[in-house]
A and B are shown apart, each in its own frame.
Chain A
Amino acid sequence: MATVGRALLIMALGVTVYGIGASLYGARRGRRAWIDSGRRAVYALGALATLAFAILEAAFLRSDFSFNVVAQHSSTTTPTFYKLAAAWSSQEGSLLLWVFLLSVWSSLILFLTRRRVREIAPYATAVLLGFGAFFTSLAVFFANPFATSAQPPTEGAGLDPLLLHPSMMIHPPMLYSGYTLLTIPFAFAVGALVTGRLGAEWISMTRRFALAAWLFLGVGILLGARWSYTELGWGGYWAWDPVENAALMPWLCITAFIHSIMIQEKRGMLKVWNASLVLASGTLSILGTFLVRSGILDSIHAFGASTLGIPFVLLIAAMVIGSIGLILWRREQLRSDARLESLLSREAVFLFQNLVLVAMVAVVFWITFFPLISEALTGTKVSVGPPAFRPFIVPLALILVLLSGVGPIIAWRRVTAANLRRSFAVPVCVGAATLVVLLVWPGGPAARPFALIMFALAGFVLATVVQELWRGTAARRAMTHDPVPLALVGLVRRNRRRYGGYIVHAGLAVLLVGVAASSSFQHSQDVLLSPGQRASVDGYTIRYVRPTEAVSSQKISFGAVLDVSKGGKHVTTVHTIRNFYPSQNPADGLIGKFFDSADSDSQVGLDAGLRRDIWTVINVDPSHLAPLINQGDTLFANYAPSVMTQAAKMPPARAQQAMNALWAERDLAVAEIARRFVSHPWPTEFLLIVDPLVTWIWLGALIIGGGGLIALWPVPSLARRRAAVRKRARPSASPGLPVREPA
């Protein structure tokens, strides 16, 4: 099957090259048949990439270790769900996933626009196929997912235990969907610039895809944060790591675009800006992939040095130079139809918000790439960690939250004093009241001015959203006489983009309150405790009640039950575990391989609540068991080879019995040694954290996701809406059913 997979990839590469040629030839010569053929090449790429991906997934499912990637990233004991997901834990598999997702989204957009934007579409097709050709080439020539081994191992290395987490398995496809979806607006922008068809049509065609990219990237980023919080054992959710930043930059950029296109649609302004944002988002999505795949930044997250760096640099350089060239070429046609009339208008607020978002991108870009920049300028690599982000990102985030409250309620074109009074009185009062209450609250956040301002601004934003929903609902009720919940649903359904956006703003406010509180008021203790001992964190007393251990065929789990109390009253009981997985290190003995901390992970003992999270993690040092482990290793090193030699001379069934008996004795020895952690516990290290409002981050993320889905959901066409109204207006044919009065 590996040969078939590789053949499919080579065919896919051929199809992309043909499709680029056909689309460009058709567009230049005005030949419809060639243009259609180019579009069908995208569908063919979709089919080939899907088949190739299915072959790889099937190899993972049946543990076919003749595939190198399967042998390196899966094993027979890997759970089925994770076998499916293990495909994209490898460089090769993730590149194939890129091609697969790109081809699916490209096929979808080209199918939906097959009778529209006819001049732009062939160029967009060529660009999309260009990306397809690039990533297929990488999979064919540099990182072949179908490479095989002549002598496959009987067992695979298995998936890294840290990746055995549901959110981690959904997180990469989400990020990749975001990245690949961003290439669609990019491709259509290139098409529009090449053809000079720079009206709003290409924007309306691709707006939904930009929104989908924003949603997928956002979900991917937050799933990564959640995984980091619950799995990585360091107590945080965001580390300003280059790969995290790689996803954040295009997300910020496309957020700016989603807002600024409204100005182009309403006022015909910011055409250069919008085209630049789309092109920058597409380029940043490739840059993000490059950061992960090339290993150019030798820090935290990125791949080790690989051969993919140069092709990526060439592609990014082509994208940047091409984008700048196209915009300069079409600068006359990109002139705005209208001018900004007042700095106190919705357009101006959107523009400020765009500038803040772009400034954030610039800050993240500069600091992320600073090691490379400093090396180029001074010959020395200089690293700047998370503290360098804060002086810039925190004030910019505060301005952004303020603008996300102002934007929805300020008038277009120019604001009047009456508009200011009507729209801002209540939200400003709510924000001010929040500020005053928090200032006078004993032990409140007055000592942390940034957090304090964030809470007040969040109050302001939430008030603006509630006010807008309330006013809209009241207006709708006045027309329809529906009850409040029905009127609210009807209001949101009628204008999903607008009210979905408002809900996103509310979610952002909630999320940033969580971020501000958890980063400003976290309390943590790194302590060494024996059973019965206790530590105090932020007024909570945490007592190490008892150690636990469990041994299974897949792992040894050492844990601790911790009792949490406050003021003498029991609050909760948490159980944190450290899992040790059998190591593949040949230097480890038959017993020692089960206690190698290189293959271990943490299970966080977490009590999450709306007010605070109690987060605990145990860090078991197995070196206390070293004498017993060494004794077992020596014993088995002498004993096992003789059993194996004798088994080799036996008939297969008896040999299997002899080997099973050997492994049973080994498992017994491992279980006995592991039990020492409970029978003779030693002082163990714990990281104990009390963190306020972390749950608000996940809650805010859910609200943002919900708002995004509402905004993304297709609005029924005008014709269908009219038909529905007519149908409702007609007397019902069924007797007994109520007849609705026409509105």
Chain B
Amino acid sequence: MSGGGPLQRRVGESAPGMDPSRKRAIRLTVALTAALLLAAALVYVSFSAGNKEVTASQLLTHGRPGQTYELAGTVVDGSVERQGATMLFRIRDPKLHVSVPVRYTGVVPDPFAAGRAVMVAVREQGAAYIGQQNSLTTKCPSKYQAAAASE
């Protein structure tokens, strides 16, 4: 502490005689603990809140009724059908040409169309997979060419 009376003591200044290396060690321990806590929380949230990302063929072979999956694939040409506010379409595995039917209600982004790559959170119910409301996402339009060329 610098000299002078208590009125001149700086705010946040440590007690006199505090070993600087000890002070640094305390700060480092606090910082590392915070980083560890953040990392642990991240790992926990990621594994507990995540949905398994699957293709149509994986969904058919490993999917369990009642569990939610993140279905990724391509919208099958000619499969899009509207029934009021509900939309029916099929998503296929880009590699194996296996497809599953999806029944979806909610916001449909503009880029959604047959032949384009999409992702939607689905749950098996009867013969179809029910898309979670507002979970449908599509690829950026500037990327279609490369995606189409690769498939």
Residues of A within 8 A of B (CB): 72-73, 89-91, 160, 162-163, 172, 231-235, 239, 241, 243, 292, 295, 298-306, 339, 342-345, 355, 359, 362-363, 366-367, 370-371, 374, 380-385, 387-388, 391-392, 414-417, 419-420, 526-528, 585, 587, 597-602, 619, 621, 623, 683, 685, 687
Contact = CB atoms under 8 A, between A and B. Distances in A.
A433 B83 CA distance: 52
A300 B85 CA distance: 23
Contacts of A363: 38, 42
Nearest to A344: B12
A528 B84 contact: yes
Given A160-B141, A299-B137, A343 B12 contact: yes
Contact of B146 (A162, A239, A295): A295
Interface string B41-64: 110011101111110000000000
B60 to A, nearest CB: 16
Contacts of B49: 384, 387-388
Given A363-B42, A382-B47, A300 B81 contact: no
A384 B46 CA distance: 6
Interface of B: 7-8, 10-14, 20, 31, 35, 38-39, 41-42, 45-47, 49-54, 70, 72, 77-78, 80-82, 84-85, 105-111, 113-117, 119, 121, 135, 137-151
A345 B119 CA distance: 48
Contact of A383 (B20, B70, B84, B115): B70
A357 B107 CA distance: 33
B13 A73 contact: no
B113 A599 contact: yes
B110 A162 contact: yes
A374 B54 CA distance: 13
A623 B81 contact: yes
Nearest to B138: A300
A363 B38 CA distance: 9
A414 B10 CA distance: 6
B97 to A, nearest CB: 16
A298 B53 contact: yes
Given A342-B10, A602-B110, A374 B38 contact: no
26 contacts: A73-B145, A162-B141, A233-B107, A299-B53, A299-B137, A300-B138, A300-B139, A304-B149, A342-B13, A343-B12, A359-B38, A367-B42, A380-B52, A381-B52, A383-B53, A383-B119, A384-B45, A384-B50, A385-B121, A385-B135, A391-B41, A392-B42, A414-B12, A415-B10, A420-B11, A600-B110
Contact of B150 (A295, A392, A415, A598): A295
Contacts of B150: 295, 304-306
B21 to A, nearest CB: 11
A385 B35 CA distance: 23
Contacts of A383: 50-53, 70, 119
Given A232-B111, A233-B109, A415-B12, A392 B41 contact: yes
Contact of A366 (B42, B81, B141, B151): B42
Given A383-B50, A383-B51, A355 B31 contact: yes
Contacts of B12: 342-345, 414-415
B113 A597 contact: yes
Given A295-B150, A374-B47, A384-B46, A587 B145 contact: no
A303 B115 CA distance: 15
Contacts of A243: 140
Given A381-B53, A528-B85, A304 B147 contact: yes
Contacts of A685: 85
A342 B151 CA distance: 59
Contact of B140 (A233, A235, A300): A300
B139 A302 contact: yes
A437 B124 CA distance: 48
A299 B72 contact: yes
Nearest to A340: B27
A414 B13 contact: yes
Given A366-B42, A367-B46, A304 B11 contact: no
Contacts of A382: 46-47, 50-53
B42 A416 contact: no
A623 B135 CA distance: 24
8 smallest A-B Cβ distances: which pairs?
A304-B147, A344-B12, A598-B113, A382-B50, A381-B53, A414-B10, A383-B70, A304-B150
Contacts of B54: 381
B6 to A, nearest CB: 10
A235 B110 CA distance: 11
Nearest to A233: B110
Contacts of A160: 141-142, 144
Given A72-B145, A302-B143, A306-B150, A416 B107 contact: no
Contact of A370 (B50, B108, B145): B50
Contacts of B141: 160, 162-163
A417 B7 CA distance: 8
B8 to A, nearest CB: 8
A344 B13 CA distance: 8
Nearest to A380: B52
Contact of A298 (B72, B84, B148): B72
B107 A235 contact: yes
The residue in A241, A302, A687 that gathers the most chain B C-beta atoms within 10 A of its C-beta is: A302
Given A392-B42, A597-B113, 10 more contacts: A160-B141, A234-B107, A292-B143, A304-B117, A342-B13, A383-B119, A384-B50, A414-B13, A527-B85, A598-B113
A340 to B, nearest CB: 8
B132 to A, nearest CB: 10
B95 to A, nearest CB: 10
B129 to A, nearest CB: 16
A151 B38 CA distance: 58
Given A295-B146, A306-B146, A383-B51, A239 B85 contact: no
A623 B82 CA distance: 8
Contacts of A619: 108
A500 to B, nearest CB: 29
A449 to B, nearest CB: 19
A416 B148 CA distance: 64
A388 B46 contact: yes
Contacts of A367: 42, 46
Nearest to A685: B85
A367 B11 CA distance: 39
A381 B73 CA distance: 14
A587 B138 contact: no
Contacts of B42: 362-363, 366-367, 392
Contacts of B39: 362
Contacts of A89: 142
B149 A621 contact: no
B117 to A, nearest CB: 7
Given A232-B111, A374-B50, A417 B11 contact: yes
The residue in B38, B42, B115, B116 that gathers the most chain A C-beta atoms within 10 A of its C-beta is: B42
A683 B84 CA distance: 8
The residue in B20, B105, B119 that gathers the most chain A C-beta atoms within 10 A of its C-beta is: B119
A598 B137 CA distance: 15
Contacts of B149: 304
A687 B146 contact: no
The residue in B12, B72, B84 that gathers the most chain A C-beta atoms within 10 A of its C-beta is: B12
B45 to A, nearest CB: 6
B107 A526 contact: yes
Contacts of A623: 81-82
B80 to A, nearest CB: 7
